[in-house]
């Protein structure tokens, strides 16, 4: 596989075990599945995609470009002599890129990818070549990383210290534990191999630890903490044992100008229809709902902030949740995506804090927040933080955010300046509690947003750790609030551990129901035709902001690359991208510079992006709850949206049954063929724990009535085997 190997030589910044300086070439071969051997195949293919998307590859003394000649394999030869620039070789059909007479075979004649991806036979360095790298400024410490980023994440010339967060993604490349075998087989060179640089393809703990890694920069910040276990959901490698790279990314500061702080988008034509949705409150002695903000008896500053945010009317979840929270009750609330759950908990919490005269205390070594909010993804927790800033504006209450993938020193400095509301992802929160930077003595409110996700297998252990942390008030002595659009019964049961026995359960509409403002279309498209169909749809929608969901991180990059080649301005977000890149991707998507965002499930929940008009499930998710969250990125706050899902009968049949139910419940057209598949498939073992059962009731009633809602397709899941997805989210 490798001949004349000179270890640690580089190919375009990639350590290439087979690089020979004499011939400036490396020997490698491409197998039938398009796995490139000899230079860490998966990583290599990822690099190609990466450079194609980010287009910052340059060639220098220690760099070379590679081509893979499909006709000459195995083995194929890659060399500087016959190489076209990388950005131009991807996607060819085993021949000459774009008609040029080069021996470059391209990388596209695999079983699934490639043949159809080659209209131009060319990936050019275009719109995304620099990604405006200066948008977010790093601090001094991360100078070298800045260089890394400008160049697209890799540095030529040897093992650079100070890679910092670098291309941490490689560390986990190939760790797609949940990637389905069938998909792997048809996915050509992307996703069939495990491992990679610093990868630990094992369990989720290792995933987090080995995570972004393999490199250790000289300027690493060694951080003590709870040790390995706690990192499993964090997804960055500020590891407790100092083995991971330092994370140096400092996010841009939040806006200070009032106009930006209170920026919001318009409610849609269906906003008033929220009033017609049935709301059910279960539990003892619930306080009555309020109909207007005035009835909530909020202090003038908060009222003013609410008005500036553009809220005139309460949404149903707010009508019920605000008085419940203000009455000091624990709450589990389930309401459709985009219907204002964030404000439903922030407003009453802030109302209490303002009433109690809470003020931030600066420069205390250990901050004691009154409220902790946790959410499963970095972008979501940041969004919640920005919302809390709106409502707290002009008061002495200080919200702070901290999440993985960002420099801890920066977060700590923010916290030290005073912290009343701490918005955090779980790994980072546990770290700070473990390091006694955050104390829990004053904690009154614990909020789990996307609570079903926070309690499932992925984050559940972290949440348990959190509630048993030293100083954590018992559930009797704190107020615990849980919000989501989906609440599988098993998760509801688990939630009991966190909530007082007499908690209230508010259900707006149906638990797990899709937002009825989203027009859902299911298309039967087989694996091989998906890309063509995607391009057809995107070409027909012009500049409409569209999110395209795929199943794996690698595929996200691949599809983004492919769309770029098709001249569709696209960016991507997934857990193998650096945090800086993730935020840039969102920035470009939000601003409309890249109207298409290819995403994994990391972007499925909570993200509130204005004007997302279309969600495309290129791959259907494996659970119906995930489907509901994904399509909920559009049709928010009374606006209408569209969701199109590609259904491949070979792999998606198990979700047919719950899908039919979701469509029917949302008064959507159910294709006859889908109903037929649903009838024959049964959905066993695939759907969410609730299978095809859509409880519109509090699961406590279910126990009392001894009903069994797992018949007919629940698949016998228990809470502990609700799968953690492909992503490490936190």
Ligand X SMILES: Nc1ncnc2c1ncn2[C@@H]1O[C@H](COP(=O)(O)OP(=O)(O)OP(=O)(O)O)[C@@H](O)[C@H]1O
Please give the residue ranges that form the binding site for ligand X (CB under 6 A).
264-265, 267, 310-311, 313-315, 318, 335, 337-343, 485, 606, 608, 632, 636-637
Rounded CA gap, 620 and 530, in Å? 12
Q: C-alpha angle with apex 273: 271 to 279, nearest 5 degrees?
A: 110
Least distance (Å) between residue 457 CB and ligand X = 21
Least distance (Å) between residue 447 CB and ligand X = 12
Least distance (Å) between residue 274 CB and ligand X = 9
Least distance (Å) between residue 330 CB and ligand X = 19
Q: Which residues contact 138 (CB under 8 A, 6 or more apart)?
A: 145, 146, 248, 249, 250
Choice between 153 and 635, CB closer to ligand X: 635
| Torsion (CA) 183, 184, 186, 187 in degrees, nearest 10 | 110
Choice between 343 and 598, CB closer to ligand X: 343
Rounded CA gap, 300 and 315, in Å? 20
Choice between 220 and 608, CB closer to ligand X: 608
Least distance (Å) between residue 67 CB and ligand X = 44
Rounded CA gap, 648 and 668, in Å? 20
Choice between 12 and 637, CB closer to ligand X: 637
Choice between 43 and 637, CB closer to ligand X: 637
Choice between 463 and 615, CB closer to ligand X: 615
Q: Is the dihedral of CA 706, 711, 716, 721 positive or negative?
A: negative
Give the helix, strand, coil percentages of the chain, each rounded to 5: 35, 15, 55
Least distance (Å) between residue 485 CB and ligand X = 4
Choice between 390 and 577, CB closer to ligand X: 390
Q: Is 351 helix (H, G, I), strand (E, B) or coil?
A: helix
Choice between 335 and 547, CB closer to ligand X: 335
User: Is residue 450 within 8 Å of residue 375, measured between CB atoms?
Assistant: yes
Phi-psi region of 314 (alpha: psi -120 to 50; beta: other; left: phi over 0): beta
Q: Which residue is nearest to ligand X (CB)?
A: 340
Least distance (Å) between residue 293 CB and ligand X = 8
Least distance (Å) between residue 375 CB and ligand X = 9
Choice between 469 and 613, CB closer to ligand X: 613
Q: Which residues contact 281 (CB under 8 A, 6 or more apart)?
A: 289, 320, 324, 504, 505, 506, 507
Range 141-144, long-range pairs (CB < 8 A, 24+ positions): 141/219, 141/248, 141/407, 142/219, 142/248, 142/249, 142/250, 142/407, 144/217, 144/219
Q: What is the 3-state secondary structure (H, E, C) of 34-79?
A: CCEECCCHHHHHHHHHHHHHHCCCCCCCCCCCCCCCHHHCCCEEEE
Least distance (Å) between residue 112 CB and ligand X = 32
């Amino acid at each position: 596989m490798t001949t004349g190997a000179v270890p640690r030589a580089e190919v375009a910044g990639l350590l290439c075990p087979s690089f020979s300086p004499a011939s400036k070439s490396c020997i490698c071969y491409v197998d039938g599945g398009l796995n490139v051997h000899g230079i860490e195949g998966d990583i290599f293919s990822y690099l190609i995609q990466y450079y194609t998307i980010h287009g910052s590859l340059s060639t220098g003394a220690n760099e070379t470009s590679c081509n893979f000649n499909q006709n000459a394999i195995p083995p194929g030869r890659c060399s500087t002599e016959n190489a076209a620039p990388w950005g131009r070789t991807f996607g060819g059909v085993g021949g000459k890129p774009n008609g040029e007479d080069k021996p470059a075979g391209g990388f596209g004649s695999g079983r699934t990818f490639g043949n159809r991806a080659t209209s131009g036979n060319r990936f050019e360095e275009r719109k995304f070549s620099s990604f405006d790298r200066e948008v977010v400024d790093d601090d001094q410490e991360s100078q070298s990383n800045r260089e890394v980023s400008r160049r697209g994440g890799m540095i030529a010339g040897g093992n650079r210290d100070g890679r910092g967060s670098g291309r941490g993604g490689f560390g986990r490349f190939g760790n797609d534990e949940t990637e389905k075998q069938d998909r792997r087989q048809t996915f050509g060179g992307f996703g069939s191999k495990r491992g990679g640089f610093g990868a630990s393809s094992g369990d989720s703990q290792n995933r987090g630890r080995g995570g972004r890694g393999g490199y250790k920069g000289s300027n690493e910040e060694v951080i003590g903490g709870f040790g390995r276990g706690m990192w499993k959901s964090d997804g960055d490698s500020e590891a407790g044992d100092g083995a991971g790279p330092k994370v140096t990314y400092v996010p841009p500061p939040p806006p200070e100008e009032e106009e930006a702080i209170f920026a919001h988008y318009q409610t849609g034509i269906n906003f008033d229809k929220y009033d017609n949705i049935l709301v059910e409150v279960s539990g003892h002695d619930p306080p009555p709902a309020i109909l207007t903000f005035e009835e909530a008896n909020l202090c003038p500053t908060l009222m003013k902030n609410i008005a500036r945010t553009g809220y005139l009317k309460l949404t149903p979840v707010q009508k019920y949740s605000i008085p419940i929270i203000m009455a000091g009750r624990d709450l589990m609330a389930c309401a459709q995506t985009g219907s204002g759950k964030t404000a439903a908990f922030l407003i009453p919490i802030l109302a209490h804090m303002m009433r109690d005269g809470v003020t931030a205390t600066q420069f205390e070594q250990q901050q004691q927040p009154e409220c902790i909010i946790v959410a499963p993804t970095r972008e979501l927790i940041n969004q919640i933080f920005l919302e809390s800033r709106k409502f707290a504006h002009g008061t002495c209450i200080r919200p702070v955010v901290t999440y993985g993938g960002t420099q801890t020193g920066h977060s700590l400095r923010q916290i030290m300046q005073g912290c009343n509301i701490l918005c955090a992802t779980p790994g980072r929160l546990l770290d700070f509690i473990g390091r006694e930077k955050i104390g829990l003595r004053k904690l009154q409110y614990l909020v789990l947003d996307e609570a079903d996700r926070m309690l499932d297998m992925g984050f559940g252990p972290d949440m348990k750790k959190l509630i048993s942390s030293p100083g954590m008030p018992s559930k009797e002595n704190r107020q615990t609030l849980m919000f989501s659009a989906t609440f599988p019964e098993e998760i509801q049961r688990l939630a009991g551990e966190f909530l007082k026995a007499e908690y209230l359960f508010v259900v707006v509409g149906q638990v797990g129901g899709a937002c009825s403002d989203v027009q859902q279309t299911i298309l039967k498209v087989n694996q091989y035709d998906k890309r063509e169909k995607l391009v057809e749809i995107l070409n027909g929608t012009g500049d409409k902001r569209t999110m395209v969901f795929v199943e794996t991180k690698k595929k996200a990059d691949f599809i983004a690359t492919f769309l770029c080649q098709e001249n569709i301005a696209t960016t991507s977000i997934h857990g193998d991208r650096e945090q800086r890149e993730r935020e840039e991707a969102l920035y470009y998507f939000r601003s409309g510079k890249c109207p298409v965002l290819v995403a994994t499930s990391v972007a499925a929940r909570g993200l509130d992006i204005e004007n997302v008009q279309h969600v495309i499930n290129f791959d259907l998710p494996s659970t119906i709850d995930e489907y509901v969250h994904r399509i909920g990125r559009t049709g928010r706050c009374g606006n209408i949206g569209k969701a199109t899902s590609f259904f491949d009968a070979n792999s998606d049949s198990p979700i047919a049954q719950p899908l039919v139910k979701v469509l029917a419940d949302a008064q959507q057209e159910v294709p006859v063929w889908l109903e037929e598949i649903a009838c024959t498939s049964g959905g066993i073992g695939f759907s969410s724990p609730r299978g095809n059962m859509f409880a519109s009731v509090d699961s406590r009633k279910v126990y009392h009535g001894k009903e069994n809602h797992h018949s007919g397709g629940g698949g016998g899941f228990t809470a502990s085997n609700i799968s953690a997805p492909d992503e490490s989210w936190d």
